[in-house]
Structure 1
Amino acid sequence: MTQKDKTILVVDDQPSLVRLVRDNLESRGFRVTSASDGKKALDIVENDKPDLVVLDIMMPGLDGYEVCRRIREFSTVPIIMLTARNDQESLVHGFEAGADDYIAKPFHANELLARIDAVLRRSEYTEVNKYSPSFTCGDISIDFVRHEVTKKGAVKQLTPTEYRLLYYLAINSGKVMLHADLLTKVWGPEYSSATDYLRVYIRHLRTHLEDKDNEPVYIITVPGVGYVLKCPQAV
C-alpha cells in the first residue's frame, strides 16, 4: 500500500485544527476523514477502518482516553494522541489507554507528519527472523510471517508497537536488552531516553502474555538496566 492509499482519521472538536491537519496531510498524499466527537470516531474506525487515527484528548462527551480504550477493544489501528498538556501523567495515561504516540499542542505540522510517518512504518513492520519464521517460548508462540502471537493456542491481539517490542525481545531471548536499545529499535533514536514509553508497553505485554502480570515469568525486569525474555528451558 502506498502513502496515497492510506486514510488518516482526525478526531478533534476544533474545526480550525482539523482543517490545518487535513490540509497538511492531503498535501502529502494522504486521504483524510474527520470526526468532531468520540462516538462518530468510533463508528468511523469500526466501519471505514482507517490506517491511522490522530485523536484529541479533550473533547465533549467521550474524551480521547475513553475513545482510545474503546478502539483497543476491537482494533489495533495506530493511534497518535493530541493534548494541550505535556506532563508525564498525561503521557502515561495516554499510553495506558493504548496510544502508540503522543504529541503536545501547539505543534508544528512537520512534527505531526514525522510522527505519523514513524508510526505507520512501525505498523507495517515486516522484518522476518532470518533464522526461523516462528518462535516458541513456553506457552507463547510467535509467527513472524503472519505477525501472529498466541498463548496456549489463543491468539493475542497486539498493537503494532506491542508486537514490535515483543519481536525484539524474542529474537534476543535470554539476553538483557538495554532500555535505550529497545527504545531506539522500537520507537526510534529520538526516543532513546523515553523510559516511560517502555515501562507502559512492557506492562501491556505482560497483561497479554503472563498468567500473573505482577509475577512475570517471561518478561523479566533487570532493575536499572533493561528487560529480558526468558523461556522455560533457559530459566
Structure 2
Amino acid sequence: MNRPRKILVIEDEKDISRVLKDYLTNNGYEVFVAENGQEGLKLIDTLSPDFIILDIMLPDMDGIELCRQTREAYNTPILILSARGSDTDKVLGLGFGADDYMTKPFSLSELVARINAHLRRESMDSRPKHDELLQFGSLIIDKKAYKVTIEGEEISLSAKEFELLYYLSKHKNQVFSKSQLLDAIWGYDTYGDESTITVYIRRLREKLESDPSNPTYIKTVWGVGYKFSLD
C-alpha cells in the first residue's frame, strides 16, 4: 500500500492552518504544520514533504525569502498563499521558485485540485522518457539533468521554468494558448491563473535571450499564445 503524500503547511494563522490540516487529512494526505519560517525550514529538512503550502506573511521571516532558501536545496512543489493579490507579489513568489500562487480567501476544493495536479505531474515527470536531450544551435536542453546551457554556459532555471521551456521546445513551432500550457505544465486549466504563464515566459526570456524584447526562442503569437521557434 502506498504511503500518504506528506504536505507541510507553513502558516501562522491557527484557524487557517487547522482548517487546512483537517481538510487535507480528509482528502488522504498526511499533514504537518509549522507556525513560523524557522520551524518550517527545520521541518522541510526533517520531513522531506511532498508538497509545501507557504503563507507569504510569517512572523519571523518573509515567505518569499523562505521560498528562495527552500528552492536552493529542494525541488519540492511550493504553493504560496497570500492575503496580498498584487501582480508584484505574484511575480516575486514565482520568480523565487514557487510553483503556484493563491490569494486569500481561497476555495479548499480548488486548493486540493491544484495539489493533486502538481503531484500527478511530478509523478509523470519521474517516469523514464525518450528524447531527453534537445539541441537548437548553441542552446542545449537536458531533461535528465534538468540543465540548460547556451554556448556552454549553464542557465539557472527553476523546475517549472525548465519544464515550460522543455515542453515548448519539444513541440517546436507548435502554438499553445496559456490555458493549454497551464494544463500541460501545472496539470490544471479550470482553476489556473493565466498570468502565471505570462510571468514564466517573461522570466525565461530574461534568462535565455540577449534581447528579451526581441526573442530568439520563445515567440508570442498575438491573440493565440506562444511557440518555440528559431524562424
Structure 2 length as normaliser, TM-score? 0.81
The 2-side partners of 1:150 and 1:37 are apart by 35
Helix, strand or coil for the counterpart of 2:66?
Answer: helix
User: Structure 2 counterpart of 1:200, which letter?
Assistant: V
Instruction: Give the C-alpha shift of residue 169 in structure 1.
Output: 0.4
Contact 1:80–1:100 under 8 Å retained in 2: yes
Partner of 1:202: 201
> Post-superposition shift, 1:87?
4.2
Alignment of 1:124-203 (within 5 A): 124-126=123-125, 132-144=131-143, 146=144, 148-152=146-150, 158-187=157-186, 188-190=188-190, 194-203=193-202
In 2, the alpha carbon distance for the partners of 1:154 and 1:120 equals 31
Residues 123, 160 of structure 1: 8 Å contact kept: no
Structure 2 match to 1:111: 110
**C-alpha distance 215-183 of structure 1, shift in aligned 2 (>3 A):** same
Give, as a single letter, the amino acid of the residue that structure 1 aligns with 2:189. P
**C-alpha deviations, 1:15-63, integer Å up to 9, x for none?**
2322221222222332222211112222332443221110011211212
| Whole-angstrom CA distance in 1 between matches of 2:101 and 2:226 | 23
Contiguous gaps of at least 5 residues in structure 1: none
RMSD between aligned residues: 2.9
Secondary structure of the structure 2 residue equivalent to 1:65: helix
CA 1:39–1:212 in 2, change beyond 3 Å: closer, same or farther? farther
Mapped partners of 2:159, 2:23: distance in 1: 25
- Distance (whole Å) between structure 1 residues aligned to residue 86 and residue 118 of structure 2: 21
The one-letter code of the counterpart of 1:79 is I
Secondary structure in 2 matching 1:8: strand
Q: Residues 31-70 of structure 1: matches in 2 within 5 Å?
A: 31-70=30-69
One-letter amino acid of the structure 1 residue matched with residue 124 of structure 2: Y
Distance 1:218 1:48, change over 3 A: same
| Whole-angstrom distance in 2 between the partners of 1:198 and 1:103 | 15
Kindly provide the amino acid, as one letter, of the partner of residue 45 in structure 1.
Answer: I
1:91 and 1:165 map into 2 onto residues whose CA distance is 18
The TM-score with structure 1 as length reference comes to 0.80
**Are the equivalent residues in 1 in contact too, given 2:146–2:159 (CA < 8 A)?**
no
Identical pairs, percent = 37
Quote the offset at 1:155 in angstroms. 5.8
Query: Does the C-alpha gap of structure 1 residues 150 and 175 become closer, same or farther in structure 2, counting only changes over 3 Å?
Result: same
Unaligned runs of 5+ in 2: none
Equivalent residue letter for 2:204: L
1:173 is displaced (CA, Å) by 1.2
